[in-house]
Chains A and B, each alone.
Chain A
Amino acid sequence: MKQIIILTVNNKVYEIAVAPNRTLTQVLREDLNLTGTKEGCGIGDCGACAVIMDGRPVNSCLVLAVQANGSDITTIEGIAEREKLHPVQQAFVEHGAIQCGFCTSGMIISAKSLLDKKPKPSELEIREAISGNLCRCTGYQKIVEAIMDASQKMKK
């Protein structure tokens, strides 16, 4: 039996009928066509599906859509302001913090959440903040460098 839920996603309000077993990842990707959120495992291991829900980063594959009813969600599509990249996105571009790109959305979500809460993190704090986001390509170094650089630039 479907249920009507209300989600605010990237500042837009949606009223959606969802089956109770649908995950937030599925609803974002399939119902709202926001495919920037990726699914790498479906059980909360990899972090590719991370979104910001009511100010906190969550693995959207572990959230049932009905649980998210009434919440405010930011996906990767909502990070850039109009045409201007967010400083974290810009730093990922400039530092070569991207290879295949499949982890990138989740990484940027985790990094932005960290910097929103803690504008001047240490390297260890950055590594802890992205430790739930797996990346098989980069060895993480350029991602960490990009987040540090973004933190510097956002301070100014």
Chain B
Amino acid sequence: MKQFSVINTRLPRIDAHAKVTGDAQYAADLSMPNMLYGALLQSPFAHAKILNIDISKTKRLVGVKDIITAKEAGLIKYGVSPARYDETLFCDKKVRYIGDEIAAVAAVDIETALEAVSLIKVDYEPLPVILNVFDAIKEGAPAIHDDFPNNICAEVHQEFGNVEEGFKQSDYIRTDKFVNKKQDGAFLEPQACIAVYDLNENLTLYTSTQSPHYVQRTVAMVLNIPIGKIRVVQPYVGGGFGPKAAANSIELSACLLSKRTGRPVKMGFTREQVFLHSRGRHQFYHELTTGVKKDGTIVALKNTCYLDGGAYASFGIATVYYAGSLLGGPYKLANMKYDGYRVYTNKPACGAQRGHGGVVARAAWEQQLDIIAEELGMDPIEFRLKNIMQRGDVTCNDLNMSSLGMRESLEAVRDGSGWVRKKGKLPKGKGIGVACGFFVSGAGYPIYRSETFHSTAMIKLSEDGGTVDLFTAAAEIGQGSDTILSMIAAEALGVRFEDVKIHSGNTDFGVDLGAYSSRQTLMSGHAVKQAAENVKQQVLEVLSKKLNTPLEDMDIKDGLIIFKKGPVDCSSLKASYIKEHRGWAKFPTESQLTFQEAARIAYLEKGVIVGSGAYKPGELGGKYKGAAVGTSPAYGCSAQIVEVTVDMETGEVTVDNMTDAHDCGLAINRMNVEGQMQGSLSMGLGEALFEEVKFDKKGKIENPTLGEYRIPTALDMPNVNTIIIESNEPNGPFGAKEVGEGAIMPTIPAILNAIYDATGVRIKELPVTAERIYHALKEKEKGKE
């Protein structure tokens, strides 16, 4: 007998039909009767004092219904981490980046709204612009925020074990620097929203978000509206990858404009505004010093990092911690020291992006480990295997690897890629490289301090017993949570996948922190599983009484009631269902008692059958400052091998093959797991080879388009050999854990290591453009002469 009926299969997504026909509606597709259109006025200066705002001309424009500035909106500070609420909806005394919000307008159509903002006259006094972290922290540099005179938004100092002692024990120590560039989320759907404030003073916000819950809290706080009066609803969302995980200026503006005008207000970002709002990957300057023994044992790691955070904190407090904590594994490491500084600059704010805080640290370290392996004369895979952690290991910074198929993943990519046959044997210009990585399966703590559940779920059975309505506030952003949660509900309740109807992404359906830190499968999955088990119990209890059969002798599977100790006479129940069901569609024809019949009987006995579930992790991690960041009930991990061809004349890189093995605990939906792996590798390939948000000297983005900010196309991305490893996570629902972010961790360093194998040059600055390789090759030639 197979273990599972619904999960661990390759079912098509529950929203696939809606998405292939164009029926799926995203926020920009919605409209309301009597709706107004909003537009933002954003700063043209990266750093300037606001001397005066004159809205008199705007007021006179026909069709303008409302104008709001800091005066109308107030100055309540918000942000992501309560410790660093440093944004106001609109700037008051000064602007801090090109794009900082100054005012918003609501008008009868979008053309009028845009004209209206262009008529607002703002007098600025330009201030010195700081675009670089090292300029920002120089003595005497102008302060971007008065409360942070040295422009350091947050700093972290941690030491586990004794790094100096570790270096003394080491036979070989080396230091390397590494830097990436600011990356953009580049999701295909620009943010959009509609706010509707009704006559009963209830506010509904339809918005493209990864976290209806956090948006609800922020709107409540900034606009001073009781949280119970606010409903945040997520239509279909066209990707997020991190930057949509917090409230944005159009959400807050639309809500306030709707409240003031009493009419629905629609707002949306243009693609350029998506780049300006940003909240994508930080720029990280890492300096890593690693000490190892002759036999390849890693002894100590010293990590110093400066993060270019842009004008506001956003998720950056978590980011600066992650940039240290995520090097605690997946190798045994007794001594680790981290000094991190997140610095304000006059650029769009950086935040969380896929692999939050850990991607660049991982790229830097995995390349350095490769260099060390070569210096020691060890095969890079052997070197990694020698140090690898396994199930049950705890890192020096107290992260508990309750399951960890890291060794299995590494061995799988070695065997699946032909590594042994290829490593060191490829012709010049062709190379192969390897790397590993791991990531949290849901942040262990909410972003605000609270005892809150992280996910709740509710299941209601329809009166005919034929439909299971699943209500969750979890956020489907394209990653597949609606499908996965429906599968978990069906499996746990014992019904068929098609019997489950999911209602998600709505704060009226419960509390769910949302789609970030790869948390939906594990955390929302737990809540859904609990709710399903609760409903199952209620139905079986009624049956037990009606059939005079002990509860423990019954089960539900594939939509049928199972009697473990042989057949039970259910004819009276079946007959009564027929009587009840007269004139309705979808009659059970099975000879056995079905779940549908049993659920109807339960309804007749008890009224509507509703069950709920709620999940929060237990206490996790150490007691030191910042110990919360990096904790998780479980960790997913990935190993990758990449093969490249480098044109030795021009330096142009082509990625030929990628092999990825990822441990997701248990694949709820194998097709979705592969999709997450392939998508992660694609984003990693883009960051490795060409993605960079570029700024001119005044702090203006030079490439705020998807054409000039280049993401991988179908011609850049090779096919990936995807290998799923299942380690059965004890803290996950049915043993499942993350796949959405762990899979990006090894991609950049595996590419870097393959480039070195092909060319003999090490590139320590992203993106690895042809130009960068060309110059490195020229340097190397010069060195030889």
Contact = CB atoms under 8 A, between A and B. Distances in A.
B28 interface: yes
Interface string A64-108: 000000000001110110000100010011111011111111001
B26 interface: yes
Nearest to B678: A139
B21 A101 contact: no
Interface string A21-60: 0000000010000111111111111101000000000000
Nearest to A33: B31
A36 B23 CA distance: 6
B674 A35 contact: no
A46 B706 contact: yes
A95 B237 CA distance: 21
Contacts of A76: 20-22
Given A34-B22, A131-B713, A93 B239 contact: no
Nearest to A29: B29
Contacts of A101: 15, 18-19, 24, 236, 238, 478
B297 interface: no
Given A37-B22, A46-B706, A98 B678 contact: no
A136 B717 contact: no
Contacts of B681: 139
A104 B239 contact: no
Nearest to A77: B22
B16 A98 contact: yes
Interface in A128-156: 128, 130-144
Contacts of A136: 185-188, 239, 241, 679, 682-683, 711
Contacts of A144: 714, 719
A99 B707 CA distance: 22
B271 A41 contact: yes
A56 to B, nearest CB: 19
A127 interface: yes
Interface string B206-246: 00000000000000000000000000000011110100000
A131 B711 CA distance: 11
B188 A134 contact: yes
Contact of B20 (A41, A98, A100): A98
A102 B239 contact: yes
Contacts of B189: 38, 40, 100, 102
Interface string B1-38: 00000000010110111111111111011000000000
B289 to A, nearest CB: 35
B679 A99 contact: yes
A119 B203 CA distance: 51
A108 B22 CA distance: 10
A53 B190 CA distance: 25
Given A35-B25, A41-B705, A48 B675 contact: no
A40 B190 contact: yes
B271 A40 contact: yes
Contacts of A98: 13, 15-16, 19-20
B480 interface: yes
A128 B187 CA distance: 21
B62 interface: no
Given A76-B22, A102-B26, A96 B672 contact: yes
B671 interface: yes
Nearest to B17: A93
A38 B714 CA distance: 19
B711 A99 contact: no
B237 A139 contact: no
B238 A139 contact: no
Interface in B699-715: 705-707, 711-715
Given A34-B22, A43-B271, A102-B26, A142 B678 contact: yes
B477 interface: yes
A94 to B, nearest CB: 6
A140 B680 CA distance: 11
B55 interface: no
Contacts of A135: 188, 714
B42 to A, nearest CB: 17
B612 interface: no
Contact of B187 (A45, A100, A139, A140): A100
A129 B270 CA distance: 26
Counting chain B residues whose Cβ lies within 8 A of the other chain, the interface size class is 35 or more
Contacts of A44: 707
**Interface-central residue, B23, B29, B238, B682, by most chain A CB under 10 Å:** B238
B141 interface: no
A44 B20 CA distance: 21
Nearest to B192: A39
Nearest to B19: A101
Given A99-B239, A134-B188, A139-B717, A104 B20 contact: yes
A96 B13 contact: yes
Given A35-B29, A45-B707, A100 B678 contact: no
Contact of B682 (A42, A48, A140): A140
Interface string B572-615: 00000000000000000000000000000000000000000000
Contacts of A127: 714-715
B402 interface: no
A43 B238 contact: no
B731 interface: no
Nearest to A96: B671
Nearest to A98: B19
B190 A131 contact: no
A62 B39 CA distance: 23
A50 B218 CA distance: 36
A23 to B, nearest CB: 13
A130 B241 CA distance: 23
A36 B682 CA distance: 26
A142 B674 contact: yes
Contacts of B25: 35
Nearest to B354: A136
Contacts of B674: 96, 142
B479 interface: yes
A56 B547 CA distance: 65
**Interface-central residue, A39, A41, A94, A139, by most chain B CB under 10 Å:** A139
Contact of B706 (A36, A85, A96, A134): A134
A96 B20 CA distance: 11
A101 B675 CA distance: 13
B707 to A, nearest CB: 4
A100 B188 contact: yes
A80 B185 CA distance: 32
B720 interface: yes
A138 B712 CA distance: 11
Contact of B21 (A46, A48, A77): A77
Contacts of B16: 92-93, 98
Contacts of B22: 34-37, 75-77, 105
A93 B707 contact: no
Given A76-B22, A96-B671, A136-B711, A102 B717 contact: no
Nearest to A95: B671
A42 B20 contact: no
B668 to A, nearest CB: 13
Nearest to A103: B188
Contacts of A140: 678, 682, 712-714, 717
Given A40-B188, A100-B189, A134-B711, A141 B720 contact: yes
Contacts of A130: 714
21 contacts: A38-B238, A40-B189, A40-B190, A41-B706, A85-B17, A85-B20, A96-B12, A96-B13, A96-B674, A96-B675, A99-B679, A101-B24, A104-B19, A127-B715, A134-B188, A136-B186, A137-B239, A138-B675, A138-B679, A141-B678, A142-B671
The 4 A-B residue pairs with the shortest CB-CB distance in the complex, in nearest-first order? A36-B22, A100-B478, A102-B238, A101-B19
Given A98-B16, A99-B675, 4 more contacts: A89-B20, A101-B18, A136-B187, A140-B682
Interface of B: 10, 12-13, 15-26, 28-29, 185-190, 236-239, 241, 270-271, 477-480, 671-672, 674-675, 678-683, 705-707, 711-715, 717, 719-720
